[in-house]
Structure 1
């Protein structure tokens, strides 16, 4: 039964990344909605809230999706919930990192969320933590993003972020 928990962990992680992609894309489709207006403000400020507050937002948005798997089995529910929480942590960190030090996003060829903001892309590069879904749905737009602005940033480590 623990194999099912591990499978659920990875399935929840991948599904959470897909939900994140579509929610972000939907925010751009309807900037007049409550969520869209808040997101428009995020684009104007071009700043993250801090890893902790980003995490809480992602957790609030996905909490109700975590509970039903416990009806199947507690192992599957645990794997599913941990996969969702792990993605929320990873996504919150990745989002803040792309606002503060995008050159540190080694797991992507191009930090899509940073580029999304830098070039005012309203129809491209919706991924926050991963770029998979932009490739799958044809919204990935490669840019020559690494310029003097990024190269002149003072050296920092992976933990020197705004956490609160």
Structure 2
């Protein structure tokens, strides 16, 4: 049970770090423009593919190595949890750019809406929306328009990898 707790805690912590980094990129222009090319991402409204996105999101993994200070099994579980979240987030980010209607675990694909409505002050989540809801940055939008409904149906794996 302790190993599952370490896995889940690392998964949740990784989502927390991702939320705040994304939010910070919108607050501090130096981070969003100079350190991480986030403004270009907004201008182009594209994603780099799941594998390249994973490379960026996996930067949170080293933080989970601190769990090795508790024990080796807990460390392994924490690293696994953060890696799984990085993979899930990379996939979710790409999916929201290409097939937002496929994000069935979200009532509203927050990252897609964040881009569609050029939102610089809300909807910072990528794979999950719970931090936006907790910190008051969730803004519900009527996002499912004829534009989304007319897009050709793609499968869950028919995205840029």
- Equivalent residue number for residue 96 of structure 1: 94
Gaps of 5+ in 1: none
How many Å separate the matches in 1 of 2:100 and 2:61?
Answer: 28
Deviation at 1:35, TM superposition (A): 3.1
What whole-Å deviation, never above 9, does each CA across 1:86-144 have from its counterpart, x for those lacking one?
A: 00000000000000000000001000000000000000000000000000000000101
- Give the TM-score of the pair, scaled to structure 1: 0.94
Q: Deviations over 1:27-84 (max 9, x none)?
A: 0001233235x1001000100010000001111x213202121121111001100000
CA distance in 2, matches of 1:136, 1:62: 21
Higher mean C-alpha deviation, range 146-155 or range 111-120: 146-155
TM-score normalised per structure 2: 0.96
Find out whether 1:49 has 2:73 as its counterpart. Answer: no
Give 1:70's aligned residue.
Answer: 68
The equivalences for 1:139-150 within 5 A come to 139-150=137-148
Is residue 47–residue 99 contact of structure 1 (8 Å, CA) maintained in 2? yes
CA contact (8 A) 1:4 1:75 kept: no
Distance in 2 between residues matched to 1:78 and 1:64, nearest whole Å: 12
**Correspondence for 2:35:** 35
TM-align CA RMSD: 0.9
In the TM superposition, residue 155 of structure 1 has moved relative to its aligned partner by 1.1
- Aligned residue pairs total 159
How has the CA–CA distance of structure 1 residues 63 and 13 changed in structure 2, closer, same or farther, with 3 Å as cutoff? closer
**Aligned-partner Cα distance in 1 for 2:117–2:66:** 40
